[in-house]
Structure 1
Amino acid sequence: MEQIVFQFLKRLKIPISSQYVETFLLTHPEFPSLLSVSDLLENLKLVHSIKRINREEIESLESPCLILPERSAKGLISVLTSSNLRKLKSEIASQSLIVISVNPSLINSTNQQKSDFFQEKIKNGAEGLLKITLIVLLGLFLFSIDSIFDFFWVMTSIFGAVVSYLIFSKDLGFKFDVIDKFCNSGKKASCDEILQSEKSIVFGFLKFSDLIISLFVFQLVILGLFVLSDRSINEVWPLFMGIALLSIPAVLYSVYLQYAVLKTWCKLCLIVSAILILQFGMLIGNFFDETIYWGVEDLLGTILLAISYPIILSLTFLVRSRTQEFNTFYQRAVHSERIKNSPKVFYDLLKQQNKAHYSPLYHELVIGNPNAPIKLIIVSNLYCAPCKVQHEEVSRLVESNKEYLSVSMRFVKINKQFNKDISSTQYLLQYWWDNIHNTEKESSLTEQLIHSWFSEMNVESFASSHPLKELKLSNEVKAMAELQEKWIEEIGVSKTPTIFINDYELPSLYTIADLHRILPDLAEYYFLENQHSNLKS
């Protein structure tokens, strides 16, 4: 599902990274339901609608859209044009469909999403450059081969390495849509059934996929070393003949296992078997034709080369083990995040935290919607680096949840002074009072003011760019600072930044960044809670 949604958004030219889409969907508490997709679109600020239709209404839909046939094995379908809709009607048997229609013209990506998208473009560019480099090196390698027999042998090794890589990847659980479709087409065809069978395990721990990818990588490494060192490739043929002789029983066992025991076929395994038989045939043919040299001039060197195969096999086994461990860890982490991102879990944990009465203070710095159902307080130190990071995250949180969120900023007492009568905190508050308080754009200007402070965290530099009208504290600002300090002392704040949400301290398991996923549903919880309280009263 996650790849279908990403490709859908990508084709709509929406600047979003595949990692962001995958992480959002997989860690959504309702994955793989369409609610997870809808929440993703909501998070991206994409205007969309969801409805259920009959199959006969398909052609009347507006594209682009995502369609999920109900009670059907067919998964989520991406539709970009009206012509796709007409074609789709003839392919879907299900009479009931759920449709998410999307308006791609209205989108407001956050800075973080733009940054992720840019980083992914750089990564994709680097991967593309690496592929081009490998292709060029491979071309130079093939160009340096002066024998037709050597050339075709190298081509079979490359093709075998590619197919065995696909088998190895599938064995580890990676999905390739085109390959999966190829493997499962036709009667009695299932690569996964063969690869996951206990019969495919050798010596109790090695798998068929380990052996074959190691074999072809071994061939390419040995051939590459000989070509680059200007040594004659003829020296490797006796070694390759020995390995080819050992591979024939493995090929016969693989075919027997598929035909007689499991009674199903792995097409990729059959391709590998065909390549190994072809290589064996090429060596046998040249052996009788005596077109290549079969003597062993350097016995010790040949033995050392042969030892490199078990080394490559051991590395392959290590890669498999570490990848499986990572996949297990990743799946557990995804499951944990899915639970963590549940609004109900967050709400219940929040209610178990230390309670601090909100009690709006006399004239304080607020950004966001003052009437929002969720009121967040961030207690900061003006010279605290982690506070700077959290204030930046708060800005992003407000940007994407303006209708749900109000953020009040309170500051701990600090000893750093602008002069003997005014502290750094008091200077900031006085500037806010003189220039921002009660203005039409109070929220956005307050946000800019805090950003300006934390970009420098130096009162002299700040004062030069934000001069006071008069170097004197007003009675209102004195009262503001005293009330904040008194409230912080009564609550018992011992560290900065400390976050409170609707009277409760943010659970230690969560950060402000986690709230991006939770706030919309959390606002609904508080809305229902307020309704219940009103009914009781």
Structure 2
Amino acid sequence: MTRKSYTAVINYLDDNKIHVDKDEFELQLEGHPDFPSLLAFSDALHFFNIESYSYRIDNDEKDILPEDFLALVEGELAVVNKKNNKIAVNGLQTEDFFSKWENIILIVDQSEEQPHTKSKFEYAYINWGIIVVLFLFLFGYDSSNLVLKSIFAITSLVGFIFAYEAFKKTHGKGTFIPVGVCKSDYLNTDCDMVFNSKKWKIFNKIDLSEISLLFFTSQIVCFILFSLIKNIEFLFEIYRYGLFAFLPVAFLSLFYQIFVVKKYCPVCMVIIASVCIQLLVTNLIFFTGKKINMSAVILFLIGSLGALVVLLNLRIKNKNAQKNENTFKRNLKFRRNYQFFKNNLSLQKRLTNKDFSSAFVFGNENADQSLTFITNPFCKHCKEFYPVFLKLVKKYSDELRINIFFDVDLSREDLDNRMVHINLTNIYINSENKIEFLEALSGWYDVQGYSENKDGWYTKYSKYFGSSENALELLKRHEKWVSSNSVHFTPNIFINDMEYPIQYERADLEFFIPEFLSENLN
């Protein structure tokens, strides 16, 4: 499976209104030790709390296929739509699909509301707000040629935005442009193919996205500088003729799209349209030119060189980020290799006291495999790991005995600390549904550092507090168990009787549990 499968999964998620950070999804995908297998895609979806299921469907069972799903077709994932018993996928007829697919489908579970992942573009609103205010100030500062300046400023900003998106796409980054716009069989568009195709040698040497980005960046910088000295007409005079130099580049790009790649790029079209509009308005709208002077020429050179410096820094930053990302992916793939983890796990410290009778127990009490979590209600690192722990409890409660111990020091003279441990223990002892203890601990992690919010927590769970005698007796056994096993920090995790290796991120545990269980069941 290749990039084609990645695009199919993203399209499928978009069609089902499931939002993920595309950069992070790709990072998790490529960092998977089994990439580019179907398991890698399934685990990457799981990372975003998106439950996915794969099934093998025989051709005589095709009537049970859902309306929308992902299918393996000739080794690649493809989005499949089934309506009125007809299949629509990549232009294949129904009969062709069933002769070429590999009888494996992947679907996502939408029974639970997926967390909304904020687009990175949303975080740029404040920056664009500042730019808009700056331009409004410049228009008020010098109101001459207002129509021409407005059109020029808008097309410069639009051109810059799309040139930057083209730059990101060229360097493999996600953009705010919908997938259905940049890649559509109906519209015959494919931005990635246009940007990354090397069918002409000339495109091996130059990067049109960088040229466009430099062009519009220098425009914006020079527009601001010349507006401040109230000599914007000098800039228009330069672009009245200078924009003609862009026409060969525009025609070259259009020829390349129409006759060579035979696909269109909406991003390129917007950039070309912005320049053509600027060319027309600077030549059709009358303005009074000002005399050329050396200071204006120097200012124009400063603006253009400044834009060049910005682009070079951006290239260096992007190159370093790509290098760091590739290193991280290699490390991630290595770190998540189960065989290596298993070997590392076997070398760790083992429990000496394997009596779990005093633990807070969840899951299957009679399971052969166990996961033990040692925590402290005031531990910040425990708070960070706790959501992952809850996911494991929810997903593997049938296959694992899950134990929780409090690392408590009852000899401390801190009464507040002691009472929190007693109250939480009472919640476990007195609640009929033990899941309430997990929810209470999660709630405590949220309010532990904010005294003004604790009243609500106490009000909600005070019905379980009661006598402290039984709770203290149980906590003493926790204290003894932790001490006898020489546990000195929290959170600490034991898989069966082996300590989770400290070299691993605790959140990585969820990637190893499935293989651990599978191995021990066989």
Q: How does the TM-score come out when normalised to structure 1?
A: 0.69
Cα distance, 1:311 vs structure 2: 0.9
Distance apart, 1:350 and its partner CA: 1.4
Amino acid at match of 1:325: N
Residues 18-417 of structure 1 aligned to structure 2 (within 5 Å): 21-22=25-26, 24-39=28-43, 44=49, 46=51, 48-53=53-58, 61-71=65-75, 75-82=76-83, 85-88=86-89, 91=92, 93=96, 95-97=99-101, 98-100=103-105, 102=107, 104=109, 106-107=111-112, 114=115, 117=116, 120=118, 146=145, 161=160, 164-174=163-173, 178-179=181-182, 191-194=195-198, 201=205, 209-223=209-223, 226=226, 229=228, 231=230, 233-240=232-239, 247=245, 251=248, 296-357=291-352, 359-381=354-376, 383-391=378-386, 393-405=388-400, 406-417=402-413
Q: 1:91 to 1:401 in 2, by over 3 A?
A: same
1:504 corresponds to which residue?
Answer: 498
Q: Secondary structure at the match of 2:72?
A: strand
Q: Distance in 2 between matches of 1:251 and 1:70?
A: 41
Asked if structure 2 preserves the Cα contact closer than 8 Å seen for 1:366 and 1:446, the reply is no
1:65 touches 1:78 (CA, 8 Å); kept in 2? yes
**Equivalent residue letter for 1:8:** Y
From the superposition, tell whether residues 513 and 403 of structure 1 become closer, same or farther in structure 2 (CA, over 3 Å). Answer: farther
SS in 1 for 2:88: helix
**Overall identity of the aligned pairs, in %:** 19
1:276 and 1:105 map into 2 onto residues whose CA distance is: 41
> Is contact 2:158–2:274 with CA below 8 Å preserved after alignment?
no
Amino acid in the other structure paired with 2:346:
K
In the TM superposition, what is the alpha-carbon distance from 1:503 to its structure 2 partner? 1.0
Q: CA deviation at 1:469?
A: 5.5
Contact kept, 8 Å, 2:80 with 2:87, in 1: the verdict is no
Q: CA deviation at 1:170?
A: 3.7
- Change beyond 3 A, Cα 1:338–1:237: same
**Could you tell me how far 1:313 is from its partner in structure 2?**
1.0
Pair 496,223 (structure 1): closer, same or farther in 2 beyond 3 Å = closer
Offset, 1:312? 0.4
CA distance in 1: counterparts of 2:149 and 2:475, whole angstroms? 83
- Against the structure 1 CA distance between its residues 57 and 138, is the aligned structure 2 distance closer, same or farther, given a 3 Å change threshold? farther
1:383 and 1:163 map into 2 onto residues whose CA distance is: 48
Q: What residue is the counterpart of 2:515 in the other structure?
A: 521
Distance 1:283 1:437, change over 3 A: closer
Alpha-carbon spacing, 1:173–1:47, altered in 2? closer, same or farther (3 Å): closer
Q: Residues 180 and 169 of structure 1: is their aligned pair in 2 closer, same or farther, counting only changes over 3 Å?
A: farther
* Greater CA drift, 149-158 or 84-93: 149-158
Q: 1:129 Cα shift?
A: 8.7
Structure 1 34/151 Cα, relative in aligned 2: closer, same or farther at 3 Å?
same
Contact persistence 2:371–2:493 (CA under 8 A): yes
| Matching of residue 12 in structure 1 with residue 12 in structure 2 | no
Distance 2:157 2:90 in 1: 42
Note the C-alpha offset of 1:383: 4.5
Q: Secondary structure at the match of 1:329?
A: helix
Q: Distance in 1 between matches of 2:45 and 2:504?
A: 23
Question: 1:444 aligned to 422, 435, 440, which one?
Answer: 435
**Change in 2 beyond 3 A, CA 1:168/1:197:** farther
The 3-state SS of whatever aligns with 1:76 is strand
- 8 Å CA contact 2:63–2:85 kept in 1: the answer is no
Shift of 1:133: 9.4
Partner amino acid, structure 1, of 2:404 = S
Take 1:465 and 1:332, find their aligned partners in 2: how far apart are those partners? 50
Inter-CA distance 285–384: structure 2 relative to 1 (3 Å threshold): closer
Identify the residue that residue 532 of structure 1 maps to in structure 2: none
The aligned amino acid for 1:447 is L
User: Counterpart of 1:303 in 2: which secondary structure?
Assistant: helix
Structure 1 residue runs of 5 or longer lacking an equivalent are 529-537
CA contact (8 A) 2:80 2:88 kept: no
| C-alpha contact (below 8 Å) 2:139/2:146 kept by paired residues | no
| Compared CA separation, residues 28 and 253, structure 1 to 2 (3 A) | closer
Larger Rg over CA atoms: 1
The change in CA–CA distance for 1:267 and 1:159 in structure 2 (over 3 A counts) is farther
Secondary structure, counterpart of 2:89 in structure 1: helix
d(CA) in 1 for partners of 2:221, 2:209? 18
Distance 1:367 1:45, change over 3 A: farther
Aligned-partner Cα distance in 2 for 1:153–1:449: 59
The answer on whether the counterparts of 2:356 and 2:403 sit within 8 Å (CA) in structure 1 is: no
| TM-score for the superposition, normalised by structure 2 | 0.71
SS of residue in 2 equivalent to 1:91: coil
What is the aligned length?
492
The range that moved more, 495-504 or 136-145, is 136-145
What is the alpha-carbon distance in structure 1 between the residues aligned to residue 387 and residue 411 of structure 2? 24
* Distance verdict in 2 for CA 1:505–1:195, change over 3 Å: farther
Q: Does the CA contact (< 8 Å) of 1:164 and 1:213 recur in 2?
A: yes
Task: Give the drift of 1:462.
Answer: 7.5
Q: Which runs of 5+ in 2 are unaligned?
A: none
Q: CA RMSD in A?
A: 5.4
Give the partner amino acid of 1:82. K
Q: Is the 8 A contact 2:57 2:105 kept in 1?
A: no
Pairwise CA distance, 1:322 = 0.5
> In structure 2, do the counterparts of structure 1 residues 378 and 181 end up closer, same or farther at CA, with 3 Å as the change threshold?
closer
Cα gap change, 1:485 to 1:8, in 2 (>3 Å)? same
With over 3 angstroms needed to count, the CA separation of the structure-2 counterparts of 1:348 and 1:304, relative to structure 1, is: same
